[in-house]
Amino acid sequence: MPGKIHSVMIQLYHVYKDYSPNHQALTDVNFQIEKGEFVFIFGPSGAGKTTLLKLLFCAENPTKGQVIVNGKNIASIKSSTIPLLRRRIGFVFQDFKLLNHRTVYDNVALALEVVGLKKRVIKRKVQQVLKQVGLLNRINKFPPFLSGGEQQRVAIARAIVNDPILLLADEPTGNLDQEITREIMKLFKIINAWGTTVIIATHDKNLLNYHPTKVIALERGKVKGIFVSDRKVFQADFSWRVH
Amino acid sequence: MTFRQFLYSIKKAFQNFKHFFVLNFITIGIISLSLLVLSTFLLVFLNLQNLLDKWENQLQVTAYLTDNLTSESLSLIKKKISSLPEVKNISFISKEEALRFFKDKFPEQANALGGLKENPLPASIDIQLKDGYRNPDQIRNFANRIKGIPGVDEVEYGQSWIEGYAKFLSFLKSTGLAVGVVILLATVFIISNTIKLTVYARKDEIEIIRLVGGTNLFIKSPFFIEGIIQGFSGGLIALIILFICHRFFINWISQASHPLFQSIPISFLPSHYLIIIIGGGMVTGFLGSFFSLDRYLKT
């Protein structure tokens, strides 16, 4: 379903990614994501979810095909402009990727310091975003003294402090229990409601049940189907995931 | 990179220095030791060369004259010698002066000479050579020419000593150069690899800054500044240790009983060498960071 160019956030045309002749991470992947959408990339381990996110984040180049993010073709982007693109994309990881020797404030401020903002602007924005994720009272703590859920919220705060147009999350709740997972997913939904396109890669079908939304299902590097999450559809097409 | 980001890099470099104190402490320690070995070698080499230069300056050729020379032939000999291009100045020592020197220097043997009717010591001319005419080949050549002057009986210039000195000097220069180059390369290798370890220990930090959109220069700058601080501190500590050791050594030899030791001037490294060692430490620290970081900044 082709969308209008100005409303499209991501377009993939016949994308292949080979790490070696015997290791094809992605094979002929095609899809489109509109601006402001909330999308799950769903599939088992080794399906190519992380590779797909890496392509969107310019951490990898496709072997073949076109990856267009916000109108920019990743394959032809200059390496010097990659940091500029990344400042408009937030990334959240399963293992949080926080600097343990820096405080919560410093970890979040890092995303603004790379842009070169003034100190007082950074302070204001960091406080604001920490309030949004409910961590203002933890501002001077170091990550190892926070719970897993809190650490993930710091990572989310860092990912959204720059007001990104796109938020990518790779198994963001993989290390968290159900209750914290619900909180984190709620946070993603709020971020999406502000207008940010959110893409979450997960192997956990339970995550899809939090709210009906678009799901791109991957299996062995190929798009198996694109659906609106609905338990019945999944039972029909993804018996390998559903008991 | 904006000026604000540059200031941020300096601030971060010092913060990181504090955060990774143990790592930095070890790095600076290793840099200090490496530079200490290099600067000790330089100190020994330079003092040895100074000593040899001093000895070289004291080299002189003595022409012993035949007895019964007329004053005309003596002044002719003096004139001939003085006119040679190698000669800086000459001093004539008469038979009587030679005897007096001998008695002053060896009073115990003076009695043996007193028994003789005639003074057996010959008159001589001590010849100081100009700078640039003091290598063994030139001295040998010069001595042979002096020997050919009528009225000159024997020429003495410490032949065997000079040959030994020449061999030692060429050995010192070639070995010193080789050892110096090896130590220098080892120092650069050790420093850059030590810094590589500090960079490796912080590869996660590099990755995270890249993920949030930090440019390569933004990531590298604090590391460069840290590398320069490490090199500077390492160089300074090495020189302070060397200076203290040098003072101790001077005290020790000034108390030594052997006059040979007391006559050796042992100077510290000249100021431009101090600048080169500290500057070299800083440059190596910078380059160590520069090359270590590249592998983490590929994508």
CB within 8 Å: A113 and B8:
yes
Does B211 contact A162 at a Cβ distance shorter than 8 Å? no
Asked whether the predicted pLDDT for residue A240 surpasses 90, the reply is no
Interface test with A, best of B204, B211, B219, B221 (most A CBs within 10 A): B211
Taking CB atoms and an 8 Å cutoff, what residues of chain B touch A80?
215
Closest Cα in chain B to A61: B299
pLDDT at B86 over 70: yes
Q: Is A243 within a domain?
A: no
DSSP B178-193: HHHHHHHHHHHHHHHH
- Is the model's pLDDT at A67 over the cut of 90? yes
Say what the pLDDT of residue A55 is: 93
Q: Say yes or no for a CB contact (<8 Å) between A59 and B212.
A: no
CA distance linking residue B280 with residue B109, whole number of Å: 58
**Average confidence score pLDDT of chain A:** 87
Give the CATH number of the domain where residue A198 resides: 3.40.50.300
With beta carbons less than 8 A apart as the criterion, state whether B71 and B213 touch.
no
How near does any CA of chain B get to the CA of A240, in Å? Answer: 34
pLDDT of B114 reads 66
The model's pLDDT over B163-187, given as tens digits with 9 standing for 90+, comes to 777 787 778 778 878 887 888 788 7
Domain-located, residue A29? no
Q: What 3-state class would DSSP assign to A223?
A: strand
The lowest-confidence range among A58-72, A196-210, B127-141, B209-223 is: B127-141
Assess whether pLDDT exceeds 50 at residue B87. Answer: yes
* Cβ–Cβ contact A121 with B under 8 A: no
Kindly indicate the confidence band of residue A218, based on its pLDDT and cuts at 50, 70 and 90: very high
In this structure, is residue A221 part of a structural domain? yes
Greater pLDDT, B299 or B219? B219
- B15, B20, B208: best mutation site toward chain A, by most A Cβ within 10 Å? B208
At what angle are helices B21-58 and B216-255 packed, to 10 degrees? 50
- Count CB atoms within 10 A of the CB of residue B239: 22
**Cβ contacts of B279 within 8 Å, gap of 6 or more:** B235
Q: Which residues pair with B90 in a beta bridge?
A: B127
Count of structural domains within chain A: 1
Higher pLDDT, B34 or B4: B34
Query: Which residues of chain A neighbour B205 with C-beta distances below 8 Å?
Result: 99
Tell me which residue of A234, A220, A233, A214 sits closest to A23, measured CA to CA: A220
Q: Is A84 on the interface with B (CB under 8 A)?
A: yes
Of residues B294 and A181, more confidently modeled: A181
Q: Count each helix (H run) and each strand (E run) in chain A, helices first.
A: 8, 10
Q: Mean pLDDT over residues B117-133, rounded?
A: 83
Which band of pLDDT confidence, cut at 50, 70 and 90, is reported for residue A230?
A: low
Main-chain dihedrals φ then ψ at residue A146, nearest 5 degrees: -110, 160
Which position has the higher pLDDT, B2 or A34? A34
Question: Which residues in B lie closer than 8 A to residue A103 (C-beta atoms)?
Answer: none
CB-count exposure of residue B64 (10 Å: 0-12, 13-18, 19+) = middle
> Comparing A209 with B217, which gets the higher pLDDT?
B217
CB atoms near residue B111 (< 10 Å): 9
Q: Rounded to a whole number, what is the distance in Å from the CA of A58 to chain B's nearest CA? A: 8
CATH class of B60-156: alpha beta
The domain in which residue A231 lies consists of: 5-23+36-237
Every domain of chain B and the residues it spans:
3-55+166-294, 60-156
**Average pLDDT over chain B, rounded to an integer:** 83
C-beta separation of A29 from A12 below 8 A: yes
pLDDT of residue B250: 85
DSSP at A67:
E
Using a CB–CB cutoff of 8 Å, tell me whether A162 touches chain B.
yes
Alpha helices by DSSP H, listed for A60-177, are 82-86, 104-113, 119-132, 148-160
What pLDDT score was predicted for residue B71?
A: 84
- Whole-prediction pTM: 0.69
Mean pLDDT value across residues A174-191: 86
Tell me the pLDDT tens digit for each residue of A77-103: 888 889 999 999 999 988 889 999 889
Which chain B residue's Cα is nearest to A58? B299
Whether residue A242 is contained in a domain is answered as no
